[in-house]
Amino acid sequence: MPIPAKILVVDDQPYVLRTLRSLLARQSHWQIYEAENGKTAIKRTRELKPHVVVLDIVMPEMNGIEAAYEIRQLAPETKIVLISSHYNSQEAEHLARLFSNSTFIPKSESAKALVPTISSLLSDERKARS
């Protein structure tokens, strides 16, 4: 049976936010929440305690790396998926390795890779609890 999960999607571009939400909402067992920047993501993480946070790296006010650090302090069990169109895969994967329970997906690949990546992270979480 699929794991019910809270997913927080964070991106400063409204179109990207709507697109990712629409993509993830197809998973009926996932509850999708949004934030438009890193500061709002911190606030929503405190409120929701999401299982997974999908974070754009490049955002105003507080970027995804700063937000990932804060989220890791606030909710160490939360998995983080960094996304970006500004970093190449090697750079972003290096950044993702700075945070345990995190990974990177280029925005250009999010349509095909985001759902399987989140599913895998949730599956790993379920196995760890067993």
Domain holding 49: CATH number?
Answer: 3.40.50.2300
Based on the structure, what is the number of domains in the chain? 1
DSSP H helices, 30-77, are 38-48, 64-74
Q: Are 16 and 43 in contact (CB under 8 A)?
A: no
Give percent of the chain above pLDDT 90: 66
The span from the CA of 12 to the CA of 34, in Å, is: 10
Residue owning tokens 């509850």: 31
Q: pLDDT at position 3, please?
A: 60
β-strand partners of 55: 10, 82
Q: Is residue 130 part of a domain?
A: no
Q: Which amino acid is at 30?
A: W
Structural domain including 117 reads 5-123
Supply 68's token pair.
């990932």
pTM (whole model) above 0.85: yes
Q: Is residue 10 part of a domain?
A: yes
Residue 128 domain-assigned (yes or no): no
